[in-house]
Chain A
Amino acid sequence: MKEKDYFLDDRPKKLSYSEVWEKFFNWARAQSLWVIAYGTGCGSIEIPPMVTSRFDAERFGVSTVGTPRQADVLIISGYLAVKTLKRVIRVYEQMQSPKYVVGLGACTVNGGMYYDSYNTVNLVDLYIPIDVYVAGCMPRPEAILAGFAQLMKKIKEGRADGWKQYIDNLDKYRKNQEKIIKNWKIPNYNW
């Protein structure tokens, strides 16, 4: 152990009570991430092995729930068609803040092997904010667990702020969504 490990280099910080509470809340939020059981593409087949006994995501506090109201995490598992995007937007907006989105697979990053498809959204980031990407086609359950570890780290450090960005830039996201969804029949605000 080096001598440097015994003391901190940082200058003293002034933290207000709300910041201290926020840090505590973030620590607590990271320990129990509830994932909504909603699969959009081929990646959803990797979720059952992740939550069941072999990879057992529940030891990290990651569990699945049935309704958006109870969920913290939405997994975009693979390619996203326009038809699915409508449902994803509804599900995402019905979730309670704070909420986090994990993009699974190459298709969510840049379209992947469907980059020239007439029906696959290339950049999911334009329509809903994504906190953590897990690259691969398809990522194994270990990779998804690594993504969750990354998400927990980001939440604890207070950097998983996609839901705040969505509230701040709602008009921008709505404009992008309405550009590809022709007949906007869903309610304007779902929460």
Chain B
Amino acid sequence: MEDLIKRLESIFKIVEKKRGKRDNLWILEVEKDSLHAVLSYLKDNESFRHLALISCVDWIENNKFQLSYILWSYQKRQNLIVKIFIDRDKPEFKTVLNLFPQAEIYEREIRELYGVTFEGNPTQFEDFVLEDWEEMPPMRRDFDTLKYSQEKYGDRDSEVLKTNIRKIISDYTDEWRRK
């Protein structure tokens, strides 16, 4: 796997490289403008034909979003994670739909949960998991899920809940009979 990293380093600028928890897993950070070139090179010349997942991480301290493209090679049986950082204030990136058609659904999910838009993806604004969502994208770290849940769905310590629990207890202990 080290040979592959060396070959890549001779062509592209690798910002950071790190071995993962296994021998056949490496994590590379590349410049965001060269991502398409790197993915294209890996797909055509190094047999990394399978895009397993695109994931997103919200680094609110650095004001960045991290996009990770997880690749798998069936011939070499190796994993490669190519990650980039984009600006949190301007969450936009270009789609990789021309390289991997399965990216369409991953990008749609990231658009919904993190609000990162992908230029060139035709279906990204359709509802995926959340229907009629009007708030901030929920997986961003400044979204207060507990507060939202209490306001929208009712508090855990509310009267309704206490009646519910009383109902359960009375059902199973036949308390209503004694009244």
Which A residues contact B (CB, under 8 angstroms)? Answer: 82-83, 86, 109-111, 115-123, 125-126, 132-133, 135, 150, 154, 159, 179-183
User: Does B7 belong to the interface (CB within 8 Å)?
Assistant: no
- Cβ-defined contact, B134 with A125, below 8 A: no
- Cβ-defined contact, A118 with B156, below 8 A: no
Q: Which residues of A contact B131 (CB under 8 A)?
A: 82-83, 86, 183
Q: Which residues of A contact B171 (CB under 8 A)?
A: 132-133, 150, 154
- Cβ-defined contact, A183 with B156, below 8 A: no
- Cβ-defined contact, B132 with A122, below 8 A: no
Which B residues contact A (CB, under 8 angstroms)? Answer: 129-132, 134, 138, 143, 145-146, 148-149, 152-156, 158, 160-161, 164-165, 167-168, 171-172, 176
- Cβ-defined contact, B168 with A135, below 8 A: yes
Q: How far is the CA of A159 from the CA of B164 in the complex (A)?
A: 15
- Cβ-defined contact, B130 with A125, below 8 A: no
- Give 14 pairs: A residue, B residue, CB < 8 Å, sorted on A: A82-B131, A109-B164, A110-B164, A111-B153, A117-B149, A118-B148, A118-B149, A120-B153, A122-B161, A125-B164, A132-B171, A133-B164, A133-B171, A183-B131
Q: How far is the CA of A86 from the CA of B131 in the complex (A)?
A: 10
Closest-by-CB residue of B relative to A82 is B131
- Cβ-defined contact, B132 with A182, below 8 A: yes
- Cβ-defined contact, A83 with B129, below 8 A: yes
- Name B154's contact: one of A82, A118, A122 (CB within 8 Å): A122
Q: Which residues of A contact B164 (CB under 8 A)?
A: 109-110, 123, 125, 133
Q: Which residues of B contact A82 (CB under 8 A)?
A: 130-132
Closest-by-CB residue of A relative to B148 is A118
Q: Which residues of A contact B134 (CB under 8 A)?
A: 182
- Cβ-defined contact, B145 with A117, below 8 A: yes
Q: How far is the CA of A16 from the CA of B164 in the complex (A)?
A: 33
Given A117-B145, A135-B168, check contact A126 B130 (CB 8 Å). Answer: no
The smallest C-beta distance from B69 to any residue of chain A, in angstroms, reads 26
Q: Which residues of A contact B146 (CB under 8 A)?
A: 116
Interface centre among B143, B145, B165, B171 (most CB of A within 10 A): B171
Q: How far is the CA of A48 from the CA of B155 in the complex (A)?
A: 33
Given A117-B145, A133-B168, check contact A126 B160 (CB 8 Å). Answer: yes
Closest-by-CB residue of B relative to A127 is B153
Q: Which residues of A contact B154 (CB under 8 A)?
A: 122-123, 126
Q: Which residues of A contact B167 (CB under 8 A)?
A: 133
Q: Which residues of A contact B172 (CB under 8 A)?
A: 150
- Cβ-defined contact, B153 with A122, below 8 A: yes
Q: Which residues of A contact B149 (CB under 8 A)?
A: 111, 115-118, 120, 122
- Cβ-defined contact, A110 with B130, below 8 A: no
- Cβ-defined contact, A116 with B145, below 8 A: yes
Q: Which residues of A contact B152 (CB under 8 A)?
A: 179-180
The smallest C-beta distance from A85 to any residue of chain B, in angstroms, reads 10
- Name A83's contact: one of B130, B156, B168 (CB within 8 Å): B130
- Cβ-defined contact, B153 with A121, below 8 A: yes
- Cβ-defined contact, B156 with A122, below 8 A: yes
The smallest C-beta distance from B125 to any residue of chain A, in angstroms, reads 15
Closest-by-CB residue of A relative to B165 is A109
A83-B130, A120-B153, A123-B158 known; 13 new pairs, CB 8 Å cut-off, are: A82-B132, A86-B131, A109-B168, A110-B161, A115-B149, A116-B146, A118-B148, A119-B130, A123-B161, A126-B160, A181-B132, A182-B132, A182-B134
